[in-house]
Amino acid sequence: MPMMSNEHPNRHFITLAARLLAGALSGCLLALLLSGCTAAPSDAPAKDPLTSDATDGSSQNGTLTGDLAGDASSKEEASETRRELTEEEKQAEEMVRTIFDQYGSEGEADGETYLNLLENYGSSQSGYLWSNFCGVGMQYYMCKLYPGDEAQKERFRQMIDNFLFFRHGAPEQDQDEDSVKYHSARGSSVGAGTGDCFFDDNIWVARNYLRAYEILGDEWYLEEAIRVDKWVLSGWNKELGGVVWSEAGLSSNANEQQLERGLSANACSILVNATLSSLSQDAQEKAFYLKWAKRFYRFCKKMQNLPDSYDYWNGIHTVYENGEFRNGSINKVHYSYNSGSMILANLALYDCMEEGEEKEAYLEDALHTAAAAYKTFLSHDPKADEDYFRGDPWFAAILNEGYYELWRHGCQDASKYLDAFAQNVSLAYSNRDEKTRLCPYQATQEVTWEKNEAYVIHQVGFAQQAVLAALYKTGGQD
């Protein structure tokens, strides 16, 4: 089998250090589990990011120009007759367009265009890595809604390639050979990321690189997902299990939050490693990634709220005492993305398994968690006399995603959950600010600017919910 190339295909400004080739995994990697698409590798020349003149040439005005500023409906002209858009599609297109109008910052690096999201409305501050990978997740579903639309894919490519400005510039200093990590803050050039490195952020980056491999067909994205995943695996606590929130949590000087082994990082690690297992036809690789997926799964089950419900708590504290790390208490806070992540993780493991009791147990757990989360997070606003999903809109979007994937797996109750989310985002859409077209933090209320509505991540959350509603109402992806 050929070793993985570390060249980024079709990009002149990206190359990884040649040392990454030495320990590269081999094997024939096939169609991505996330939606069953088949991807084909491609090749192109590249340059070393550490010596490249690829620098940040972005415009910080929060607006886009050219084709990317248009709506998706104008781009899909492959067929002679175009069906009329549903109301859900119109709503999704408008909300996604608002994200790019108000937060999008285009730039060029060595002739290639990238798209960075700004952190706040009306600010020139770059969005953090978290904010940008949330935006990529939204655009991923736009590509699923309009699979024949090359403009949507190009926008997705520009957003995913923006990750490289967060990339660590000296991979040889990373904790494990042939791995790479991404920083929380954006540098001014490729490979110049700054700020802390979070295991949490990095595993979500790996997940989005797998999506890029699915949508764009460039094998470099798959290879980079493997490298990032390897860095995350290097942070596994062999005595206690799980990975901590931040790389700083590996130190005895870490604070409580850095030391927490949160469900978000560990649940997304299930999803990434189960996907990598499904991708490989090499028996040894398949077993390796499945072993890790199950290891993370067993750890996450410690945070499940049993026997009261099948919902999940936020994490497990780690205590450093007398020169040793030990388990602390469970952080008993509920966030909707934790439940959504575990629904997705269960379904990924379900798809990995042969028919049998273990396979069905994963589906059963996903169904129980879905029902528990619906009960926990769907609330009623007596003033508006409307139901809504409480909490952070992007957290809710991940729960929405879990429900959507359950629906694709044939779960009957998922339609009830998706109908509730469609109503939630419709309320948010109707309560938008007239001037900015931004949504309120809570779907049933008006924009007050007192609840962090200006943050891009909250607006992306509602936009992704809108795209998922459109996918659901139009019958979903193939």
Give 51-83 pLDDT, tens digit per residue.
334 455 454 444 444 444 444 444 444 443 457
Please give the full DSSP string across 406-423, using - where no structure is assigned.
HHHTT-TTHHHHHHHHHH
Residue 380 contacts residue 443 (beta carbons within 8 Å): no
* pLDDT at 347 exceeding the cut of 60: yes
Residues 299, 269: Cα–Cα separation, whole Å:
11
* pLDDT at 120 exceeding the cut of 60: yes
Residues 68, 29: Cα–Cα separation, whole Å:
32
Instruction: Give alpha helix (H) positions in 323-413.
Output: 336-352, 357-377, 393-408
Torsion of CA 155, 159, 162, 168, to 10 degrees: -140
Burial class (CB in 10 A: 0-12, 13-18, 19+), 172: exposed
Residue 283 contacts residue 291 (beta carbons within 8 Å): no
Residue 444 is encoded by which pair of tokens? 């049933």
Q: Comparing 8 with 116, which gets the higher pLDDT?
A: 116
Question: Mean pLDDT, to the nearest integer, of 359-366?
Answer: 96
Nearest to 366 by CA among 420, 330, 411: 411
Residues 411, 404: Cα–Cα separation, whole Å:
10
Residue 29 contacts residue 39 (beta carbons within 8 Å): no
Which pLDDT belongs to residue 258? Answer: 81
For 435, the 3-state DSSP assignment is coil
Give 156-215 pLDDT, tens digit per residue.
999 999 999 999 987 666 556 789 999 999 999 999 999 999 999 999 999 999 999 999
Amino acid identity of residue 157, one-letter, is R
Give 219-230 pLDDT, tens digit per residue.
999 999 999 999
Please state the separation of Cα 396 from the chain's center in Å: 13
* pLDDT at 254 exceeding the cut of 80: no
Contacts for 153-157: CB closer than 8 Å, 24+ residues apart: 153/215, 153/216, 154/67, 154/68, 155/68, 155/100, 155/115, 156/212, 156/215, 156/216, 157/212, 157/216
pTM for this model (two decimals) = 0.85
Task: Provide the percentage of residues in the chain whose pLDDT is more than 70.
Answer: 81
Neighbours of 220 (CB within 10 A): 26
Amino acid identity of residue 83, one-letter, is R
Give 424-456 pLDDT, tens digit per residue.
999 999 999 999 999 999 999 999 988 788 999
Q: Which domains does the chain have, with CATH numbers?
A: 1-72+122-234 (no CATH), 334-478 (1.50.10.20)
Neighbours of 188 (CB within 10 A): 12
Which pLDDT belongs to residue 121? Answer: 96
Which pLDDT belongs to residue 14? Answer: 35
Nearest to 151 by CA among 74, 93, 61: 74
